[in-house]
Amino acid sequence: MVETKNGPTVDKLFTKRTVLISGGLGDIGRATALEFARLGAAIAIGDMNPASQAEALLNELGQLGVATHYTQVDVREADAVQNWVLAVENSLGVADIIIANAAIVTARRIHEITPEQWSNEIRVNLDGAFFMTQSATARLLAHGLPGRVVFVGSWAAHAVHPHIPAYSVAKAGLRMLCQCMALELAPHQILVNEIAPGYVNAGLSAKLWEKEPARAEEARQRVPIRKLISAEAVARQVVYLCHPDNEHMTGSTLLMDGGLSL
Ligand SMILES: NC(=O)c1ccc[n+]([C@@H]2O[C@H](COP(=O)([O-])OP(=O)(O)OC[C@H]3O[C@@H](n4cnc5c(N)ncnc54)[C@H](O)[C@@H]3O)[C@@H](O)[C@H]2O)c1
């Protein structure tokens, strides 16, 4: 336990750890960065957006007393991702908690989506997650370090959803990638898991619902427990997957969808 300036004490469980988060300027990425920072980890964020858009978040993280690093990076570009990983290592040390979070969603049915939209969605959501985790875990192997990988998946890989076929297929691929990587990296004490949230009242879903607010309420009614998820609730479960006590779980999916996929 450590005393903070603001009075209450918090467990600094992740001091000396470095967290690498793609899509860290989005709602879930941002909440995850803040959650790890409160627990003492250094935070490296990569996102498509220019550094000017990261200033507010970096300040907030800095106020929590942790070191930070921001890179404008497109996860579709394997070389750029590799350079990002190396830049973080030079600045904060080897990233040993790797959160593949960046994604996009295109609400187009099978006969509406264009070949370009289909390919782009697979490139961001699946290829991007692969490039990031491949590069970052290669550095763990090079240094002989243990680590954690969390893929941010989705309930949409677990149940058919009519409007988002490219997204669902990419997330289903992510699930198998998680298992393949978990098996290969297990002997190196690198644990690889996936989190699969249901309807989150933030980020990608909130952007879709913004145009038609009634759809958020319809979505809530479809969830068996009648609740939408907050970005902070997702972040806490990501942290849970990386908790030092969670030492046997690998290749698993933590499905947190309030029963939606049932
Ligand atoms: N919001 C939901 O309902 C929901 C539900 C289940 C899973 N998820 C997953 O949570 C994760 C975060 O999504 P969110 O809801 O916070 O959305 P978001 O749009 O708020 O965040 C996504 C971030 O990814 C970044 N990004 C997009 N393309 C990129 C690229 N090519 N390179 C680098 N960065 C890129 C965006 O700039 C953005 O900051 C995603 O993997 C998403 O699939 C979200």
The answer to whether residues 185 and 145 touch, using CB atoms and an 8 Å cutoff, is no
Q: What is the pLDDT at residue 213?
A: 83
Q: What is the pLDDT at residue 191?
A: 98
Instruction: Tell me the two tokens of residue 26.
Output: 């989005």
> Could you tell me the distance, in angstroms and rounded to a whole number, from the CA of residue 100 to the centre of ligand 1?
10
Q: What is the pLDDT at residue 99?
A: 99
How many secondary structure helices (H) and strands (E) does the chain include?
9, 9
Q: What is the pLDDT at residue 32?
A: 98
Q: What is the pLDDT at residue 262?
A: 93
Q: What is the pLDDT at residue 10?
A: 56
Going by their DSSP bridges, the two strands 9-10 and 2-3 should be labelled as antiparallel
- Out of 126, 200, 254, give the residue to mutate to test ligand 1, the one with the largest number of ligand atoms within 8 Å of its CB: 200
Ligand 1-lining residues (CB < 6 angstroms) = 22-23, 25-29, 47-49, 73-76, 101-104, 124, 128, 152, 154, 197, 199-200, 202-205
Give residue-wise pLDDT tens across range 114-173: 999 999 999 999 999 999 999 999 999 999 999 999 999 999 998 998 899 999 999 999
Q: What is the pLDDT at residue 52?
A: 98
H or E segment at 27?
Answer: helix 27-38
Bridge partners, 44 (sequence order): 20, 69
CATH superfamily of 2-201+230-256: NAD(P)-binding Rossmann-like Domain (3.40.50.720)
Identify the segments of the chain with pLDDT beneath 50: 1-2, 4, 7-8
The answer to whether residues 134 and 184 touch, using CB atoms and an 8 Å cutoff, is no
How far apart CA 79 and CA 135 sit, in angstroms, is 9
